[in-house]
Structure 1
Amino acid sequence: MKFAVLSGKGGTGKTLVSVNLAAVAKDSVYVDCDVEEPNGHLYFKPTEIETETVAIKIPIVDEDLCLGCRKCVDFCKFNALAAIVNKLLVFDDICHSCGGCIMLCPSNALTEKDKVIGEIKTGISEEVKVISGILNTGEASGIPIIKDLMKKTANEKRMTLIDCPPGSACIVMESIQDADYCILVAEPTVFGLHNLQLVLQLVKLFNKPYGVVINKCMESENLIQTFCIENKIKVLSKIPFESDLGAINSDGEIAAKSEKYNGLFSELLQAVVKEVEHETVTHS
């Protein structure tokens, strides 16, 4: 089973949920797809770390072969190419590595070279395999790293928790494509409700089954719970807004390892597995 954990914005508790579900599942895989700011490893503190680079292909020009026709410049919608005084310039930092300019070049003046945009670190934390993607600062897109992360989990038989990037952009779409179920984490505020609605549109677009975890719950009126009831959305769990949990989390510790919170995350995992099994039976 693969579970993708999403939130409409950062700071909602997405990593809190992902890390603790992977911990209570024990023999599991945790995948940190928040490649701009990965921090799941701070909780797991993995050992036996293996690192591999992720590279994309970018164009390189042979000035002797270039005809100055500007076909490549006119094609590039990202303005990664410019012809100045009959000299073709390539701006690596904004190239999206689509390869179209190379295909269009009538004189084969453009070829490809590798550009490293980040890395993937794989390690072990007790029974949990921890895989983290890291995008180099200033790079245009982390999608190539996400794709490599997903390839690494394609044949995994163990339960896999995918800690998605925040928001609902293309990089999030790439993270949830292979997920069996989506867990949407939201906090009970006006902004939390707005961002939940955005990410809800995304999972519906991909036709993924989903449920909601409400984080930072207090006894006052809960906007998220009301919204879920009105729209017949499954509330998987309500995580209390408690100083003890906040302290554990801010110290980089796994809350599920404490007696007080182990039951909370174990019950959440059971609820998610039950939902997936129900979906499987319903659609079989």
Structure 2
Amino acid sequence: MELVKERLWEEHFTEFGRGVHMFRTEKIQKLVAMGIPESLRGELWMTFSDACSELDSHQGYYAGLVQKSMGHSNLATDEIERDLHRSLPDHPAFQNPTGIAALRRVLTAYAHRNPKIGYCQSMNILASVLLLYAKEEEAFWLLVAVCERMLPDYFNRRVIGAQVDQSVFEELIRERLPELAEQVPDLSTLSSVSLSWFLTLFLSVLPFQSAVCVVDCFFYQGIKSIFQLGLAVLDANAAQLSACTDDGQALMILTRWVNGKPQSAEWINLGRKTAAATPMLPL
């Protein structure tokens, strides 16, 4: 399957260009929905997020940040050290000093670049995944793109951006899932359960391969892909959620359900199904 996907992308590159010069066609949506092949994932994340332009225009910047930031101790570096071994602990890449050191450099350099954000929990999970598919310097610029452009104000102490999107999510539930909204008058219960979906782009709740396909869609479409998938998950569990009496019960229902859906294609199809019924969030 990987070879088939690689061939389809190569055909698209030949016809529509590659990198920053690539035309965004309807065909790309279908290719992304299939799951980007692992050999091209880092390159395409860089292209979709325009992190490649930042890297090209800031040659030597990351190396300088690493040199300036390493060896300093502050609240951010203390928190980074605490979370390093909690970042994809089951993945071989982070079960050795080399992987941990790269993650430390990326997170510490970013904290030095943007002290207003510094370091927040969930950045470690995101950076770990970026490092699996991109070179270290590329992973840094992808993290910059996510924290500063694609999810502004998500990664701070008050997670203001995420809270705003939770309010938007509640409104979308009322609009797109009216029967569920009628049965669950206090939608803050559902939005609080879904907060981790937004903060980690589903990386903390889905099986890894499924979650990475969600990240593919995020880099191509932005946060609306997370809204779409979130709505699809709630829709699939609407009957049980309508009978919930507290956050804990809702969390248990959703956790059990997502863990029982390991195939990435199922998640992409869920998002596309919801998008088809959601004109304001076209896939």
* TM-score over 0.5 for the pair: no
The structure with the greater share of residues assigned to helix is: 2
Q: Which has the larger radius of gyration?
A: 1
TM-score of the superposed pair, with normalisation by structure 2? 0.27
TM-score (norm 1): 0.27
Instruction: Give 1 or 2: higher strand fraction.
Output: 1
The higher-RCO structure (CA 8 Å, 6+ apart) is 1
